[in-house]
């Protein structure tokens, strides 16, 4: 599989999926060096290096990248992303009390 064909990437408790569009209802802003997800347990963070349009709709986050970019994290290998629209999904876990985000 060529890198240009990759449509889904995982880094720890964060999954990135290449999508066709951002929902029209999403609120967007341009940002540089965006913290994709902060670790509640460790204080480490998944950080997008570079410029992006970030759009939020409810709990969903979308990153529109014009240039190749990367996400870094203190405990994981860096992830390289091609230009496009990437949806950020945080991993969840089931407990008898609730379904919750995984604490990183």
For 43-69, what is the mean pLDDT? Answer: 92
Q: Which residues sit opposite 57 in a β-bridge? A: 60
- Let me know if residue 39 belongs to a domain: yes
For 75-104, what is the mean pLDDT? Answer: 76
Domain that holds residue 18: 3-92
- Name the more confident of 92 and 75: 75
- Let me know if residue 104 belongs to a domain: no
pLDDT at 104 over 60: no
- Let me know if residue 99 belongs to a domain: no
Q: Whole-angstrom Cα distance, residue 75 to residue 93?
A: 20
- Let me know if residue 98 belongs to a domain: no
pLDDT, position 81: 93
> Per the structure, how many domains does the chain have?
1
- Let me know if residue 13 belongs to a domain: yes
- The string of pLDDT tens digits covering residues 18-39 is 999 999 999 999 999 999 888 7
Work out the angle at residue 70's Cα, subtended by the Cα atoms of residues 6 and 4, and round it to the nearest 5 degrees: 25
pLDDT, position 101: 52
**pTM (two decimals):** 0.80
- Let me know if residue 27 belongs to a domain: yes
- Let me know if residue 25 belongs to a domain: yes
């Amino acid at each position: 599989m060529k890198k240009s064909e990759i449509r889904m990437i995982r880094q720890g408790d964060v999954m990135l999926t290449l999508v066709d569009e951002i929902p029209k209802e999403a609120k967007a802003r341009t940002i540089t060096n965006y913290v994709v997800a902060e670790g509640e347990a460790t204080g480490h963070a998944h950080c997008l290096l570079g410029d992006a349009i970030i759009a939020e709709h409810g709990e969903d986050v979308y990153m529109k990248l014009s240039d190749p970019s990367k996400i870094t994290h203190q405990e994981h290998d860096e992830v390289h992303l091609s230009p496009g629209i990437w949806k950020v999904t945080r991993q969840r876990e089931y407990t008898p009390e609730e379904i919750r985000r995984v604490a990183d």
